[in-house]
Amino acid sequence: MVAGLAGSLLAPLENTVAPDVAHWTKSAEPVLVTLIGGVHTFAGPIVGSAIFLVVKETIVRYTEYWLIWFGVIMLVVVLGFRGGVVGYLLHRRQAARGAAGQL
């Protein structure tokens, strides 16, 4: 519902609708951002979007083949952090608390 509302408000905001806005990559970005940050927490997509934007903007500055490098980095992040970055950090935090409790 929120995505539909955001999409309907884009046309009046931009005063135009271009075909590239309807491309599948635009609709895949929220899914990728959620996978990066973590699905099981509220903060996951927020952290994921920050990581997504920082990595994308950094790579674009250095090479014209940024999509290849961006894809490789995102693949490593998604496969390396199974619960997303936030899920990984929460798991590490719980493991550290468990180890401290055993001492």
Query: What does pTM read for this prediction?
Result: 0.73
Domain boundaries, the chain: 28-102
From first to last of the 103 residues of the chain, give the pLDDT tens digit: 776 777 778 778 888 777 877 777 777 888 888 889 988 888 999 999 999 999 989 999 998 888 899 889 888 888 888 888 998 999 888 888 887 766 5
Angle at 69 between CA 22 and CA 62, to 5 degrees: 100
CB count in 10 Å sphere of residue 60: 13
Alpha helices (H) in 1-103, listed in sequence order: 2-14, 24-37, 44-62, 66-80, 84-102
